[in-house]
Amino acid sequence: MKFVVDETSQGLTVGEFLKANGFSSRTIRRLKLGGKILINGVPAYTNTRISCNDVIEVDLTEKSGIVPSPVPINILYEDDHIIVLNKQPGVVVHPTAFHYNDTIANGVIYYLNQKGKKGGFHPVNRLDRDTTGVLIIALSQHMHNLIQTHGRMKKRYIAVVEGVVKENEGVIVEPIARREGSLIERCVSEKGQKAITRFKVVKRLKDLTVLDIEPVTGRTHQIRVHLSFKGHPVAGDTLYGGKNDRIKRQALHCAEMTFFYPVTGTYLSFKAPLPEDMVNLINSTPYLRFS
């Protein structure tokens, strides 16, 4: 990242200037130790005083410890700071003990290596293994922190749920907690964290409903838990009561994400088309068609 010092910032130290521009103390220390802060092309100390029209450059590139592996990724957008993907179903986002080299993270690092670029892997949003759609990856911890700090992020999902939802729209406000005795499953519980999900009916089918969903909060499995609690589990979601006779994974897709991007100072919005298996599910259900 490159900054040009204006009159309002002259006289500050480099450290003070970077803090004013959203850099954490931890990030500044890491950059200082790595010699990654330059003033007018010369390495600088964080206590160096800056003058008007000085050019401050910060090298945010990271070397990731994630093993590169040729996992397919579908890129919607990329620049020096972020990569936006349309995630496919059946692939875990981040390496785990059971998924060491077959995740989205492995694929992103492999892609960066092939281009001769360095970068970390810092998901801005999280998608379950079998959830598809827009996935934003920050290539540095600093950029991840900046996007999260601004907090102006809106997510829109499409879900196909079992049964016919009667209301045209509504809001589900129910706290969510980890189910006792399970490492994975969540449930509605008075002991849980506040969770809010808005929904609108897109299309009513014979025995399914297509919903447009906005999760106001971001709890683990929030949409799946809330819809199951309402009596309309996501089709294919066997963990929360759905049936997988017509689709083999939860019919849940992150269709759009809008967020404030500090690099440009503007909002960016990305859309991902509905995946084939969800289109087939909708179009194979009698009487109505998705449009």
How many CB atoms sit inside 10 A of residue 74's CB? 13
Closest CA relative to residue 185, chosen from 232, 220, 228, 218 = 220
CATH class of this structure's domain 2-58: alpha beta
Beta bridge partners of 200: 169, 212
Mean per-residue pLDDT for 271-284? 95
Marked catalytic residue, from 54, 128, 130, 237: 128
Predicted pLDDT of residue 273: 96
The percent of residues in the chain predicted with pLDDT above 90, rounded, is: 75
Residue 35 CA, chain-centre distance (Å), reads: 30
The average confidence (pLDDT) of the chain is 93
- Residue 138: the pLDDT is 96
CA 104 to chain centre: 12
Give the contacts of 30 (CB within 8 A, at least 6 positions apart). none
Give the pLDDT confidence score for residue 252 in this predicted structure. 98
Query: Would you state the pLDDT for residue 65?
Result: 87
Position 257 confidence tier, pLDDT thresholds 50, 70, 90: very high
Grade residue 198 by pLDDT with cuts at 50, 70 and 90. very high
The tally of CA atoms less than 13 A away on the side-chain side of residue 21 is 25
Q: Comparing 61-150 with 153-254+279-284, is the CATH topology the same?
A: yes
Q: What is the mean pLDDT of residues 37-65?
A: 89
- Distance of CA 77 to CAs 6, 74, 202, Å? 31, 9, 27
Closest CA to 211 of 183, 251, 264: 251
Residue 208's pLDDT is 96
For residue 212, indicate whether it is catalytic: no
The pLDDT score that the predictor gives to residue 150 is 81
**pLDDT score of 287:** 63
Q: Is the pLDDT of residue 289 over 60?
A: no
Q: How confident is the model at residue 130 (pLDDT cuts 50, 70, 90)?
A: very high
Does pLDDT of 99 surpass 80? yes
11 vs 134 pLDDT, higher one: 134
Mean pLDDT of 41-60: 90
User: According to the CATH classification, is domain 61-150 in 3.40.50.150?
Assistant: no
Question: Token pair of 84, please?
Answer: 């936006």
Express each pLDDT in 146-197 by its tens digit: 998 887 799 999 999 999 999 999 999 999 999 999 989 999 999 999 999 9
Q: Residue 247: its pLDDT value, please?
A: 96
Across 7-11, 236-240, 287-291, least confident range: 287-291
Residue 249 confidence (pLDDT): 97
- Which position has the higher pLDDT, 279 or 33? 279
Q: Where are the domains of the chain?
A: 2-58, 61-150, 153-254+279-284
DSSP 8-class letter at 240: G
CATH assignment of 153-254+279-284, among 3.40.1010.20, 3.30.2350.10, 3.40.50.1470, 2.102.10.10: 3.30.2350.10
Helix (H, G, I), strand (E, B) or coil at 159: strand
- State the pLDDT at residue 290: 47
More confident residue, 88 or 2: 88
* Residue bearing the bigger pLDDT, 73 or 31: 73
Query: How many percent of the chain have pLDDT more than 70?
Result: 98
Cα-flanking dihedrals φ and ψ of residue 261, to 5°? -105, 110
What is the reported pLDDT for 64? 85
Tell me 271's DSSP state.
E
